[in-house]
Structures are given as C-alpha cells and as structure tokens.
C-alpha cells in the first residue's frame, strides 16, 4: 500500500516538466545558498511567483528543490570566504575557513557536502517513515519539553566559550541581550526598541549572523588589498574529505538526528539545531584543541544537522499546518495556494503528495551534493584572485541579503552596526560563536519558560519527557565530574594526564580594541539594566539573565583592558578605515539613495583597495553594480531611496 503510493509518486516526479522544475528550483537554491545572507527564504520567495504557472506537483517540486540544497551549497561560501552562506552555517565558516587557510579547503568542503547529503537523506527517511508515526512525537513535545531542548542547546553551547572564560561568557551574555530586543514574550513590553518601529520585531537572525561574521571577514579581505592573498586555496583531491567523512560517519549521523529533532520543534530554525550539533561535536571529542582553529568534526556535525533540520521542518508543517521554519512557512503558503490543506487528514487524503515531497527532497540532496563537488574546483580558482576583488560584490550582496528582512534602511544600518561589533569582537579576542548562540536561544528559552510556568506551574519538572531530556545534560555532567575526580586521584598518584584545553577562535587580539569593546559592552549592559527597571516584572527575567552575569564580567574586562591597554590601534588601522568607510556608505545610502554611494563604494573598493587597473576595474565594477541592481529588482523591487535628497 505504502510502497504503491511511493512508486506512483516517483513515477509522477519523473515527468520531464516536474524534473525540470525540481532542478530549476535546485539551481536557484544553490545560488542563493552560496550568496551570503540569502538563503532558503529568499530562494523560495523568488520562486513563488513562478510556481503558479506550473501544476501543483511541479510547483511544489520546484520549491522543495530550492529548500533542500541551500544548506549544501552554503558550505562553499562558508569555507572559501569565511562569511557564512546562511546563518545556520556559521560553525562551518569558523572551522571550514580556518582549514581552508591551511590549504585544506578540499577536505573541509568534501566533508561538508557529504555531511549535508547525509543530513538530507536522513531527513527524507524520517519524513518517509516518520509521517505515519511522527504525529504523536510532535504532540509529546509540549512547551516544557521545548524549554528543556533550549536548555540542552545552551548547555552544549557552553563548550564554545573558549579559553578566555570571561570574554566567552561576556560574549554569550551579549548575545542573550541582543536576543531580548523587541517584544517580550511574557508581558506587553517592547524592550530596548528606543522608540524605533524597526526594532519592534527584534533583530533578524540573518542580519546578526552576517554582521557578526560576514562583515568582519569582508573588512579583512578588503584590507588585504591588491596583493595576492597570503593563502591560496587549492581544491586538489577529495580523497581526504572522503576519508574524514567515513571516520566521522556516526557523528554525522548523530548530528542529523539532532537536526531532525530540531525540525520537529516548530519555529526553532536550523540555526539552533546546528549549534546544538556543533556543541555535541565538541563535547564528544577527546581532543578539543583544534575546535575554532579548523576542526573537521565541527563541519561534519553542523552540516549534517542543518540540512536535516530544513527537511524535517516539513514534518510539523505537513502534519499540523504549523511551519517548522521560515522556508517551510512559505512552502505551507504554496500548499494552501494549490488547494492542499496540510493537517491530520493529509496522509490519508493525498498520500502521493507526501511521497512526492520525500522523493523530491531525497533526489535533490544527492544531486545537489554531486553538483557541489563538480563546481567547487572552478569556484576555488576564483579565490586565487585577490580577496579584495571578491569582497566588492560580497559586501553588496550582504546588503541585499540584509535588506530582505524588512526592506527599510534599518536593515542596512543594523548590518554595519553589528558588523562593527563583530569586527571589534574578532579583534578584541571575544569569541563570536557564543554570542550568536545566545542570540538564537534567548527567544525560545524565554518563551518556553514563560509558557511552561504559566500553564503548568512547577509540576512540569516531573514530566517524563522533561526528565529524559534533562538527563542529556545531567549524565555528561556526572560523567565529567567522575572523570575529574579520577584524574585528580591519578595526578596525586603521579600520573599526569594531558588535559585538553577548551576550544577558542584563532585571533591575534588587539589590546587597545579589547579595551574599547569592553567599555562599549559595559555601557550597553549598564543602559540595559537601567531600562530593564521599567519593564513589567515578568519581562525582566531574560534580560536579567544576560545582565546579572554580563555586567560584572564586562566591568572586569574593562579593568583588565585598562590595565593591559596598549596603543596598538595602528596594527588594525587599515581595517578600521574600511569599517569607517562602510559606515559612511550606510549613512550616505540613507541620505541620498542607493545608486551614488554604491558606485563610489565599488570604485573605492576596486581601484583604491584592490588596485585594479582603470578599465578592468570599471568593467568589473559595472558588472557588480548590474548584478546588485538585478538582485534588488528580483527580490524586492525598490532599493532604498534617499531620505534627504533622492539622487537616482
């Protein structure tokens, strides 16, 4: 019976138009996956108008094709450029780019693609077999269990703090604080919105990820100037990648399962489960010294997880009409438009459609990974061009990507403001991963804690699901406490074990900038504390959780910063100028519209920074400008026009 439907659906999918639609969607998905800041949501919304010219199966196949490869192809950008291709591949950007700089890009990419493929396949398998049984599982995950999942995420994230404990914790608190901006979950408070409508919804994840990671990378790229960058990225042989993948196959598999669970939970995106999987990779590793400096296990875990999540996001979407993530929400809209109303009746009413979805996703996961293998050598050759030349289109594409959030100037300002923060963190020796994790988890943690406590009082602590999930935290803690005690005894007996240092991001931190950043963050926390006093008591919990440890930590870092202060700003002087230039760019876009400042910025980046020759620079610049306009046009229609004077 089931096999029957599966075969009918496969047959339906192998109709030429449908296959063409599927692969057309896949190509769009791959391109958008590679463009930093533009991911599944952008790809799906750009395809949306097209699908209405197709029959239901082709249209849906097209969207699925796009959704299921975004997290495969984003690996390329993350590894080669160090700017996350999409928010959920930030761990890949940290580990993969570090490996690429050591000349091991092929290894990182190979593992990334294979892990993505496995993630996709595990996701599809889960869809296939879980659909009949997943209903009860999703129903078992009530708010207390969801809260516990968020806690597990935070627990895993603690592994990313790095070796400078104070800076890592302060970064995590800063992330939590960024996450509480916007509407409070518990009471009708809008927190830290400064009267700006823009902030009423809080920060967009895309902009935070791009700002913290992407902008800082672009600044370094631009600073590298016209000279050939010190590290050529070679993609020579995939062999190492395959070997590494095979060695870590179970890690990939476990990460995929984490991803699948993340997808079951509505509205917890791929980012959260990716970080949880990455944290799991760290915790399960014996030698943690390479995390943050190029650890293949980090890539294996995060790529396995993010692809599995987007696909299992479809489980709550199809079973309960509750979208699992943003791209799934658009897919749900498309289903409605074709007259499918997902819900409890869906499996019995349209079994063929369910299988069509499974096949589409599985097929594109495999084909997408193969295509990534095929195109990467060519793309890697691009990175032999001076980075400054690649940075020019990159910075503008990030602007377009950020502008997708609300299409207001706020998006662009926020991108560069957070970019400045990310840059300061990178150079001040603050790890950025805990900040992003804090940001991602702060919303769900607060929401589920509040709802749980409101609905269940404290009785939820004894729910079986809560206890099972809680054991994920408690058991490793007990085990490591046991190991610690044993290690101590052994040390006493004269056996010295090599204690692995915790991971950290590689950075040569500037003492001057560290001091500036500490002061800045301290001021933010002081202000946050002051404004917090005006909130309803229930809205204070999460900000307090960020501020109470964050403020003393930041103050301590200020003291440390002042004590260690050195006037070493000159080392980063070149990058500082570029940061300033980008901020000037944002302000002039606001004042006089997109066109003129963008042309000036392109000219400055290509002639000034990349030292291109006059005519090649002009030609290349024109192409970049045209692409940016095309993207604006395709995605949104109207680029920002000037607030003061509108120079077109």
Partner 1 sequence: MRTFTKLTATAALILGASLQVQAQSGYFAGKSIDVIVPFGTGGATFVSAKFLEPYFEKHLPGNPQINVIDRPGGGSILGANWFEQNAKADGTTILFTTSSTANPFVLGQKGVEYRLADYRVAYSHPFSGVAYVAPSTGVKSAKDIRNSKTPLLYGGIAAAASDLPGLLSFEVLDLDVRSVLGFNGRGPVRLAFEQGELNIDYQFTPVYLTQVKPMVEAGKAVPVWTGGAMQNGVLKARDPIAPELPSVYEVYEQLNGKAPSGIEWEAFQGIASVTYAYGLTAYMHPDTPQEVLDLFAKAAEAINNDPEFQAESKRVTNGARLNAGPETEAVIKAALKPSDAVKTYLRDLLGNKYGVKF
User: Measured from the CB of residue 536, what is the shortest distance to partner 1 in angstroms?
Assistant: 5
What does DSSP assign to residue 607? I
User: Considering beta carbons, is residue 162 or 640 the nearer one to partner 1?
Assistant: 640
Rounded to whole angstroms, the Cα distance separating 516 from 568 reads 12
Rounded to whole angstroms, the Cα distance separating 402 from 414 reads 9
User: Measured from the CB of residue 648, what is the shortest distance to partner 1 in angstroms?
Assistant: 15
548 is a site residue for partner 1 (CB under 8 A): no
Rounded to whole angstroms, the Cα distance separating 43 from 29 reads 6
Rounded to whole angstroms, the Cα distance separating 131 from 394 reads 40
User: Measured from the CB of residue 83, what is the shortest distance to partner 1 in angstroms?
Assistant: 24
The count of other CB atoms within 10 Å of the CB of residue 622 is 12
Tokens matching residue 141: 């995950």
Rounded to whole angstroms, the Cα distance separating 67 from 300 reads 20
What is the helix, strand, coil percentage profile of the chain, to 5?
75, 0, 25
Tokens matching residue 614: 């006059």
Positions in 612-641 near partner 1 (CB under 8 A): 633-638
- HEC string of 148-160 equals HHHHHHHHHHHHH
468 is a site residue for partner 1 (CB under 8 A): no
492 is a site residue for partner 1 (CB under 8 A): no
Residues facing 191 on adjacent strands: 182
User: Considering beta carbons, is residue 329 or 574 the nearer one to partner 1?
Assistant: 329
Does residue 277 contact residue 302 with C-beta atoms inside 8 Å? yes
User: Measured from the CB of residue 316, what is the shortest distance to partner 1 in angstroms?
Assistant: 8
Phi, psi of 182 (to 5 degrees): 110, -160
User: Measured from the CB of residue 345, what is the shortest distance to partner 1 in angstroms?
Assistant: 6
User: Measured from the CB of residue 104, what is the shortest distance to partner 1 in angstroms?
Assistant: 39
Tokens matching residue 175: 């992330």
CA 614 to chain centre: 37
Positions in 340-399 near partner 1 (CB under 8 A): 341, 343-345
Positions in 400-429 near partner 1 (CB under 8 A): 405-408
Rounded to whole angstroms, the Cα distance separating 81 from 98 reads 10
27 is a site residue for partner 1 (CB under 8 A): no
45 is a site residue for partner 1 (CB under 8 A): yes
- Report the sign of the C-alpha dihedral through residues 579, 581, 586, 590, in that order: positive
441 is a site residue for partner 1 (CB under 8 A): no
Rounded to whole angstroms, the Cα distance separating 592 from 475 reads 58
Query: For partner 1, which residue of 7, 137, 165, 197 counts as binding (CB under 8 A)?
Result: 197
Scanning 313-350, the segments in alpha helix (DSSP H) are 314-320, 326-337, 346-349
Binding characters for partner 1, 558-597, by CB under 8 A (x = yes)? ----------------------------------------
53 is a site residue for partner 1 (CB under 8 A): yes
332 is a site residue for partner 1 (CB under 8 A): yes
User: Considering beta carbons, is residue 54 or 171 the nearer one to partner 1?
Assistant: 54
24 is a site residue for partner 1 (CB under 8 A): yes
Query: For partner 1, which residue of 68, 104, 142, 274 counts as binding (CB under 8 A)?
Result: 142
User: Measured from the CB of residue 372, what is the shortest distance to partner 1 in angstroms?
Assistant: 23
User: Considering beta carbons, is residue 408 or 480 the nearer one to partner 1?
Assistant: 408
User: Measured from the CB of residue 379, what is the shortest distance to partner 1 in angstroms?
Assistant: 25
The residues that touch partner 1, with contacts defined as CB under 8 A, are: 17, 20-21, 24, 44-45, 48-50, 52-54, 138-140, 142-143, 183-189, 195-198, 200-201, 266-267, 316, 320-323, 326, 328-333, 336-337, 339, 341, 343-345, 405-408, 447, 450-451, 454-456, 536, 538, 633-638
């Amino acid at each position: 019976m089931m096999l029957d439907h599966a075969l009918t659906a496969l047959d339906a999918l192998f109709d030429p138009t449908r296959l063409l639609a599927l692969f057309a969607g896949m190509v769009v998905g791959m391109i958008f996956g590679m463009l930093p800041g533009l991911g599944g949501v952008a790809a799906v919304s750009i395809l949306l108008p097209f699908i209405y010219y197709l029959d239901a199966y082709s249209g849906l196949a097209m969207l699925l094709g796009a959704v299921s490869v975004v997290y495969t192809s984003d690996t390329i950008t993350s590894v080669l450029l160090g700017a996350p291709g999409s928010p959920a591949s930030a761990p890949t950007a940290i580990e993969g780019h570090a490996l690429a700089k050591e000349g091991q890009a092929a290894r990182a990419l190979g593992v990334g693609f294979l892990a993505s493929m496995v993630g996709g396949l595990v996701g599809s398998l889960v869809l296939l077999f879980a659909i009949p049984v997943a209903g009860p599982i999703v129903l078992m995950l009530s708010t207390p269990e969801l809260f516990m999942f968020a806690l597990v995420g935070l627990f895993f994230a603690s592994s990313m703090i790095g070796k400078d404990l104070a800076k890592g914790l302060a970064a995590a608190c800063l992330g939590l604080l960024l996450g509480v901006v916007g509407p409070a979950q518990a009471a009708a408070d809008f927190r830290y919105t400064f009267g700006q409508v823009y902030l009423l919804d809080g920060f967009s994840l895309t902009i935070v990820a791009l700002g913290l990671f992407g902008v800082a990378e672009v600044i370094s790229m631009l600073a590298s100037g016209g000279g050939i960058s010190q590290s050529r990225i070679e993609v020579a042989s995939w062999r190492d990648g395959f070997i590494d993948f095979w060695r870590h196959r179970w890690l990939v598999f476990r990460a995929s399962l984490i991803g699948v669970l993340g997808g079951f939970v509505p509205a917890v995106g791929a980012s959260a489960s990716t970080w949880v999987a990455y944290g799991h990779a760290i915790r399960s590793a014996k030698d943690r010294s390479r995390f943050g400096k190029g650890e293949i296990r980090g890539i294996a875990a995060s790529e396995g997880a993010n692809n599995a999540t987007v696909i299992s996001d479809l489980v709550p979407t199809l079973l309960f009409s509750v979208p699992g993530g943003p791209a799934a929400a658009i897919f749900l809209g498309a289903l409605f438009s074709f007259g499918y109303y997902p819900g409890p009746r869906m499996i019995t009413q349209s079994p063929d459609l369910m299988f069509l979805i499974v096949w589409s996703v599985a097929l594109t996961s495999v084909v997408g990974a193969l295509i990534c293998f095929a195109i990467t050598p060519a793309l890697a050759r691009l990175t032999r061009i001076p980075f400054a030349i690649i940075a020019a289109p990159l910075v503008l594409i990030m602007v377009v990507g950020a502008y997708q959030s609300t299409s207001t100037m706020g998006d662009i300002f926020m991108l560069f403001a957070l970019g400045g923060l990310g840059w300061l963190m990178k150079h001040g020796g603050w790890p950025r991963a805990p900040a992003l994790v804090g940001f991602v988890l702060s919303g769900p943690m607060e929401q589920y804690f509040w709802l749980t406590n409101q609905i269940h009082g404290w009785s939820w602590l004894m729910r079986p699901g809560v206890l099972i999930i809680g054991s994920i935290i408690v058991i490793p803690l007990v085990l490591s406490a046991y190991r610690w005690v044993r290690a101590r005894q052994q040390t006493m007996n004269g056996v010295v074990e090599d204690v692995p240092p915790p991971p950290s991001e590689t950075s040569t931190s500037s003492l001057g900038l560290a001091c500036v950043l500490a002061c800045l963050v301290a001021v933010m926390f002081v202000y946050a504390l002051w404004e917090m006093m005006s909130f309803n008591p229930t809205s204070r919990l999460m900000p307090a959780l960020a501020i109470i440890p964050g403020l003393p930590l930041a103050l301590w870092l200020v003291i440390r910063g002042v004590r260690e202060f050195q006037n070493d700003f000159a080392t980063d002087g070149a990058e500082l100028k570029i940061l300033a230039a980008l901020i000037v760019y944002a302000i002039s876009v606001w004042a006089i519209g997109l066109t003129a400042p963008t042309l000036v910025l392109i000219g400055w980046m290509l002639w000034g920074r990349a030292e291109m020759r006059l005519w090649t620079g002009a030609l290349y610049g024109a192409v970049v400008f045209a692409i940016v306009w095309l993207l604006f046009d395709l995605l949104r229609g109207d680029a920002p026009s000037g607030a003061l004077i509108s120079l077109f």
